[in-house]
Structure 1
Amino acid sequence: MGKDFSSALRPAIVMTILFAALLGIAYPLAMTGIGQAIFPVQANGSLVREAGGRVIGSTVVGQAFTSDRYFQTRPSAAGKGYDGLASSGSNLGPTSQALIDRVKPDVVRRQREGVTGGVPADLVTASGSGLDPDLSPAAALAQASRVARVRGLPTGRVESLVTAHIETSMLGDPHVNVLALNRALDAVAPAR
C-alpha cells in the first residue's frame, strides 16, 4: 500500500505544478498579451482622457455627476457609490419595503428637478453591478429640461444632443452613455 501511494504521489505533484504553471501563469499572460495587442483600449479599461492626457472616466464604468449642470447617472449600490471594488447590486426585489423606502425620496427629488409624468426606473434604481455608465433615452430626456434651464440653453438643443447620443446594438435596449453625453454638453456650453 505504501509503495503504491509513493509511486502515485510523484506524478500527482508533477501534474499539479505543470497545470498551475500552465493555467495560473502561461494562459493568463497569453490572454493579457492578446488583449493588449488586439483590443488595447478595452484591455486598459476604456479610459477617457482630457486633451492634456488626464483620465476623467471610463466609458464602461459609471461615475457620479452631482452638479445640476450635468446629466446624472443611475444611483449606485456599489460601496459608497461607483466603487469598483465593491461592485454589486442591492439584492432588493420589487416587493422589498427597503427598496420602496429608498426609492421614494429619489422619485420626489427627481420630480422637484423637473421630471414630469412617470419617473423612468433607471433614474431611481441601481443596476445589477451598481456601476452602469448608461441610461435609457427616456431617463436622459427626462433630465433635459433641468440641464437646459441650469445651463441657459434651449431645451430643444439639449434634447437633440441626447438624441444624437443614443446608441443601439443588436442585443439590448437603446442607451445613452452619460459620460459621453456630458462631455458633448461641455463642448456646446462649457461648465463655468
Structure 2
Amino acid sequence: MVLYLINNCSNLEQVCLRYFESFHGQNEGDCPQHHTIAIKNAGDVFVPRELKPIFKLARKKHSYSVHQLQTEDFWDFKMLSQDLKILGVRRYSENNIPVKWMNIVEVKITKDYPSTVFFKTSHLDVTYKSLTLKRQQADVKKFPLMRLNSGPVKIPPAKYEDLISLCTGPTAVVRASDHKAFYMSLPH
C-alpha cells in the first residue's frame, strides 16, 4: 500500500513506519483514561453509530476528529503485493543476507527510490538496509486497484439470529424501533 501511495501521490516524498518491539512500547490507545472517561459517561450503546460521539469526546482537550468510513473506502492491496512478489524477497540487497520479516522495526519508502524498501531491524541502527523489488516502478503506478468489498460484508446466519434474538421476545434488550431496524437490515 505504501509503495502504491509513494508512486501515485505527487506531494508525498517519503513514508516511514516505525513499529514497537514486542512488550517495549506504549501508545495513546493503551492509555486507560481514554476508554474509562468515554465509556463511564456514555450510557448504553445499542448501534455502532452511537460510538462516534463517544470516540470524539474520549479526550477532554482537543477532541478527536472521527471519520466514519463506508464499505467503498477500503481497497484491496493483496493482488498488488502478490504481483510485486514482496514477501518472495528472501535476501536483502547488501551482502545477500536473509531477510527476517518479523524482526523489522522500521520501514521507509522514498520517492527517489520507489521500488526499494529501506528497513531497520533495531531502533538503534543508524543506517537502513534495503530490499530492491524485482518489479519496476511503472508496474505500481499502473496497477489497477480493486475495492476490498463490492458491498456490505455479510455476517454469518448464526450471528444474525443471535443479534435478532436481542430485539425480540418478552425480554428484548434492544427495544427502540430504529435500533431494531438496524439489526434486522444487516446483510446475512
TM-score by length of 2: 0.21
More strand per residue: 1 or 2? Answer: 2
TM-score by length of 1: 0.20
More helix per residue: 1 or 2? Answer: 1
Greater C-alpha radius of gyration: 1
